[in-house]
């Protein structure tokens, strides 16, 4: 393995000058091999491989082969190998296993793992290959794949544990959106998935077990067309009682639905059928424009009666008209009055500069 990496580095760069920077461990291994060679302890086969990649010259290799002193190193290595092999053979006869359990004999398990690595690299002699194959130890053990837990599953478990703790602390699963926005959003998503049938059975069972998925939440969500029809009928009833469709925010459900219809109409997503129905009952699509038109109508009546547009501070017939007029002047000075509204006021003979100090423009209310 190390030699192959060294060979690929040589093929790519043509030298080993920058090896210490690119792969420090490989550089240390290379130096160790050369050091063992200098001590005359490196097997000739490995020395030839070092010569093939240019780490040794042909002359150095020839001198190594001819002048290698007599040493007991190789014999000692063979004796150690044979001792380990005999230990391995005894282990297989005793246990009947083809895999050495590291808990039984860690050094032996490490040794056989190293032998398999040497065999895969093609550096093992035929005699040793034959011995290890004879007892079935050159076949690497089947590796059990680690089960990777997806990040989504980890996050789900974390949120579920938070919900369990919330239930223990509060005694219920009605999660406050203001105090726990993240947990509230996650819990609502689980409810939606359950209604859609995309929540797994085990997750649904866990949520039911702690009392989050109640019978009410388990009911399928009402069809949007049915919701629109129901809210439209409520709006008609409101119109019959109050005379208009300006639903106050206190009426939360109907007010939200009315606001949604205005947004849909503005984006072009409202169906023609619903648009026609709302038009029939006098639905106000633009509250700001409707309020402005009401103020303009009051000013027009004032002009018809008094002949000018200078509304006094205390005008009892329409107390809010003076404020509305001042608001238009302020918007004009700040350059945010629409051209259409300015033209309409100019046609009426509106006086823009009456020495009134400027004030901050406030947004006109919407329901």
Helix (H) or strand (E) holding 323: helix 321-333
Q: What would the pLDDT profile of 37-56 be if each residue is shown by its tens digit?
A: 776 667 777 777 877 877 77
- Positive or negative, the CA dihedral 264, 269, 274, 279 is positive
Maximum alpha-carbon separation in the chain: 130
Q: Rounded distance, CA 288 to CA 363, Å? A: 9
Asked if 166 contacts 173 with a C-beta cutoff of 8 angstroms, the reply is yes
Token pair 């290890």: residue: 132
Band the pLDDT of 366: cuts 50, 70, 90. very low
Top-confidence residue, 203 or 17: 203
Token pair 């302890």: residue: 41
Q: What would the pLDDT profile of 162-177 be if each residue is shown by its tens digit?
A: 999 988 888 888 888 8
Asked if 166 contacts 183 with a C-beta cutoff of 8 angstroms, the reply is yes
Phi, psi of 119 (to 5 degrees): -65, -45
What is the rounded average pLDDT for all residues in the chain?
80
Q: What would the pLDDT profile of 93-127 be if each residue is shown by its tens digit?
A: 888 777 788 778 888 888 888 888 888 877 788 88
């Amino acid at each position: 393995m190390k030699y192959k990496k060294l060979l690929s580095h040589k093929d790519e760069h043509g030298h080993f000058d920058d090896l210490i920077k690119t792969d420090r461990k490989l550089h240390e291994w290379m130096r160790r091999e050369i050091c063992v060679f200098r001590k005359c302890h490196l097997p000739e086969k490995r020395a030839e491989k070092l010569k093939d990649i240019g780490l040794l010259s042909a002359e150095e290799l020839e001198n190594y082969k001819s002048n290698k002193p007599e040493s007991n190193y190789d014999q000692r290595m063979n004796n150690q190998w044979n001792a380990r092999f005999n230990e391995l053979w005894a282990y297989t006869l005793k246990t009947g296993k083809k895999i050495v359990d590291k808990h039984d004999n860690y050094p032996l398990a490490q040794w056989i793992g190293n032998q398999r690595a040497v065999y895969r690299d093609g550096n093992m002699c035929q005699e040793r290959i034959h011995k290890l194959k004879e007892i079935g130890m050159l076949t690497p053990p089947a590796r059990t794949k680690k089960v990777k837990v997806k990040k989504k599953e980890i996050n789900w478990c974390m949120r579920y544990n938070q919900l369990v703790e919330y239930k223990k602390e509060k005694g219920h699963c009605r999660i406050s959106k203001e105090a726990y926005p993240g947990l509230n959003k996650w819990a609502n998503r689980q409810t939606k998935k359950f209604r859609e049938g995309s929540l797994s059975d085990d997750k649904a069972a866990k949520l039911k077990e702690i009392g989050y998925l109640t019978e009410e939440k388990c009911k399928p969500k009402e069809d949007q067309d049915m919701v629109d029809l129901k809210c439209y009928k409520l709006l008609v009833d409101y119109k019959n009682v109050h005379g208009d469709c300006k639903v106050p925010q206190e009426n939360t459900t109907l007010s939200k639905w009315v606001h949604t219809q205005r947004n849909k109409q503005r984006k072009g997503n409202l169906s023609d059928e619903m648009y026609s129905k709302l038009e029939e009952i006098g639905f106000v699509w633009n509250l700001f424009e409707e309020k402005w038109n009401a103020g303009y109508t009051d000013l027009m009546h004032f002009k018809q009666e008094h002949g000018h547009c200078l509304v006094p501070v205390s005008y009892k017939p329409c107390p809010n008209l003076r404020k509305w007029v001042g608001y238009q002047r302020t918007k004009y000075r700040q350059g945010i009055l629409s051209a259409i509204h300015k033209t309409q006021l100019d046609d009426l003979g509106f006086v823009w500069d009456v020495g009134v100090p400027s004030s901050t423009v406030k947004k006109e209310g919407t329901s």
